[in-house]
Structure 1
Amino acid sequence: MIGRLRGTLLDKQPPWLVVDVAGVGYELEASMTTLVALPGTGESVSLYTHLSVRDDAHLLYGFAREQERALFRALIKVNGIGPKLALAILSGMDEEAFIRCVMDDDVKSLTRLPGVGKKTAERLIIEMRDRFPHWEASQGAAALEQAASPAAEAGPRDALADAESALVSLGYKPAEAARMLSGLDETLPTEALIKAALTRRLAG
């Protein structure tokens, strides 16, 4: 079981990233919350990880904070919630916001996330409600503050196109992803554009 990686960030193409550890490049999938918190390529990173073993693939997921990984692991235990949907949920809101939705029975906010309909939102609330009392919600607030100051994106890629592609990979339809990004500052790095689009979607 791979529980943590420390190495050099080689590439970020949301929702994917590559970390070099002693000459071995590990490809991981991560939430937008984690991607926004990471430094630029070439910098040192340390990530908590979750390894999913399937018949056709071994998939590695990376998290900037241990609490985010804990929530990911709790989410994939809910009936009907797989890793892809769990990452979409974590991309759309941080741990504190998700806990608040569950504790407040806020079905409406949860259904703004891609792939989360009313029944899924209700199931999340029912199954997750009793799992949070021991969690420190303040950690989620600190993480959100950190994510609000993203590092500059390295490389010449088209940030807007990359952001739209990443939103589609999270489950949004192309037209919806384009609307979410419409009017945003195109000079922002990819991760900042994604975060701003997700924030706008949840607020709407």
Structure 2
Amino acid sequence: MIDYLHGQVVHYESDYIVMDVQHIGYRVFCPNPFVFAKSENSVTVYIHYNVREDAILLYGFATREEQKLFRKLIEVTGIGPRVALGILAGGTPDQVVAAIYQENITFLTKLPGIGKKTAQRIILDLKDKLDGIAVMPVLVPVEGEHDLFNPIFSGWKEAREGLKALGYTDGELDKVWHSLKDGIAPEESVDSVMKKALRMLYAG
């Protein structure tokens, strides 16, 4: 079983990256591929190795915490790898774990692919099973509280990291955020936010 890969990202799309590891290209599906933007530097990607009857798939994460949380999420009935990736694209491990502990259904239902019943199932199944995930304790307020805890702002923070890795400056990104923030829906993924920002940046 593959636990992690260390190599160079040679290509990325909206849902996966291609890593060159000793001249072998691995396709790895990620919550936010733009975090591993094409670079001359090698990166470490933590892997979940998934074997199906018709395919062998690799899912990759920037941290051990993301990897562990992904594995917990796919243990929940009705949540497959794609939905689990969407959850991690829409919220940081700290936020998702905090929401589960706080039984914050409002926050969880803003994540991609999560309805009220699924949010309740996540809380029921995982609330007592997350001790092994070392995340910072955070407060996840309900809708309408400070923007820093809003899924929209959190999604932009992750998208911003990916855009900075592509070479955009803080000034350019602040300008884009000012124009972009009112047009982002709470359920949008980081990937969707990043695509919107890139269109604005390309347009100048």
When the two structures are superposed, what TM-score results if normalisation uses the length of structure 1?
0.69
What secondary structure, in the 3-state scheme, does the structure 1 residue paired with 2:128 have? helix
Asked if structure 2 preserves the Cα contact closer than 8 Å seen for 1:11 and 1:41, the reply is: no
What secondary structure, in the 3-state scheme, does the structure 1 residue paired with 2:165 have? coil
For residues 35-81 of structure 1, the C-alpha deviation after alignment (integer angstroms, 9 at most, x for no partner) is 34324333311111011100110000111101110000000011111
| 1:70-149 correspondence runs (5 A) | 70-138=68-136, 147=158, 149=161
Residue segments in structure 2 that go unaligned for 5+ positions in a row:
139-153, 168-186
- For 1:83 and 1:138, locate their aligned partners in 2 and report how far apart those are by CA, in whole Å: 24
- For 1:97 and 1:30, locate their aligned partners in 2 and report how far apart those are by CA, in whole Å: 18
Asked if structure 1 preserves the Cα contact closer than 8 Å seen for 2:48 and 2:60, the reply is: yes
When the two structures are superposed, what TM-score results if normalisation uses the length of structure 2?
0.69
- For 1:100 and 1:57, locate their aligned partners in 2 and report how far apart those are by CA, in whole Å: 34
Amino acid at match of 1:187: L
Amino acid at match of 1:90: L
Superposition RMSD in Å: 3.0
How far 1:100 sits from its partner (Å)?
A: 1.2
How far 1:187 sits from its partner (Å)?
A: 1.2
How far 1:136 sits from its partner (Å)?
A: 2.6
How far 1:12 sits from its partner (Å)?
A: 1.4
Aligned to 1:187: 201
For residues 162-196 of structure 1, the C-alpha deviation after alignment (integer angstroms, 9 at most, x for no partner) is xxxxxxxxx97xxxx69x976887218xxxxxxxx
Distance 1:181-1:48 versus aligned 2 partners, 3 A rule? closer
Residue segments in structure 1 that go unaligned for 5+ positions in a row:
155-170, 189-204
In the alignment, is residue 30 of structure 1 matched against residue 30 of structure 2? yes
How far 1:134 sits from its partner (Å)?
A: 4.3
- For 2:73 and 2:35, locate their aligned partners in 1 and report how far apart those are by CA, in whole Å: 21
Aligned to 1:3: 3
Aligned to 2:172: none
Distance 1:114-1:21 versus aligned 2 partners, 3 A rule? same
Distance 1:152-1:187 versus aligned 2 partners, 3 A rule? farther
- For 1:184 and 1:83, locate their aligned partners in 2 and report how far apart those are by CA, in whole Å: 27
Distance 1:182-1:139 versus aligned 2 partners, 3 A rule? same
When the two structures are aligned, how many residues end up with a matched partner? 162
